[in-house]
Amino acid sequence: MEGSSKERLPLVEEFFSVQGEGFHTGRAAYFIRLGGCDIGCSWCDTPFSWDPQLHPMVETDIIIDHVIQSGTDSAVITGGEPLMWNLDYLCSGLKRQKIRTFIETSGAYPLSGNWDWICLSPKKAKPPRDEVCRKADELKVIIEDNSDFDWAEKHKKIVNKKCRLFLQPEWSRFERIIPEIVSYVKKNPEWRISLQVHKYMHIP
């Protein structure tokens, strides 16, 4: 699917909401969820996005129009794994409209698009490419068990020095894992905790 879409993208859903995770928590933004992901995280909360063929190929200009009509100044492109698609056309169209561009990615596919903010969430099943690690503004590692702390530290060494570092409890194991994460950030203060606050607010 790499580079296959200049003018159409598989649109799973789009909605105007508030970023619930990571550095930009609390920021209003228009979310564009693209179909396609072959990574298969066991705890994925959007498995309906995995098969792009289940979703309509929507003209990218129409998607951009919806962002403009929402009145927001920020768009978050998420998935699925959005970098399975070439996002140059989408990004340049949003930029022309002075919309800030944010992406949530595993980093497993080549980087396309011109981003104001890259949030990298590396997955063990398909590790991120070095080019995405080097350009990431934010490293957000999902903590499911104690082995994930090593995975987080491994990527801390690869990302650039300005990259913000977050540990986020895997939602279904929150009660069990959050004490471990709290203990970890006390000993390793360069890391911050990211919570999925949109779930507490009951918004998408």
Residue ranges binding ligand SF4 (CB under 6 A) = 37, 39-41, 44, 46, 49, 79-81, 106, 123
Cβ closer to ligand SF4: 49 or 101?
49
Nearest to 21 by CA among 12, 11, 8, 31: 31
Cβ closer to ligand SF4: 24 or 123?
123
Q: Quote the least distance from Cβ 168 to ligand SF4, whole Å.
A: 11
Tokens for 34? 């693209």
Q: Quote the least distance from Cβ 123 to ligand SF4, whole Å.
A: 5
Q: Quote the least distance from Cβ 79 to ligand SF4, whole Å.
A: 5
Cβ closer to ligand SF4: 40 or 110?
40
Nearest to 87 by CA among 106, 111, 113: 113
Q: Quote the least distance from Cβ 167 to ligand SF4, whole Å.
A: 16
Q: Is 36 left (phi over 0), alpha (psi -120 to 50) or beta?
A: left
**Rounded Cα distance, 125 and 140, in Å:** 16
Q: Quote the least distance from Cβ 171 to ligand SF4, whole Å.
A: 11
Cβ closer to ligand SF4: 93 or 140?
140
Q: Which residues contact 150 (CB under 8 A, 6 or more apart)?
A: none
Cβ closer to ligand SF4: 127 or 156?
127
Q: Which residues contact 55 (CB under 8 A, 6 or more apart)?
A: 10, 11, 12, 35, 49
Cβ closer to ligand SF4: 3 or 40?
40
Q: Quote the least distance from Cβ 11 to ligand SF4, whole Å.
A: 15
Q: How far is CA 61 from the centre of its chain?
A: 22
Measure the CA dihedral 76/77/80/84, to 10°.
-160
Q: By the 8 A CB rule, do 37 and 49 touch?
A: yes
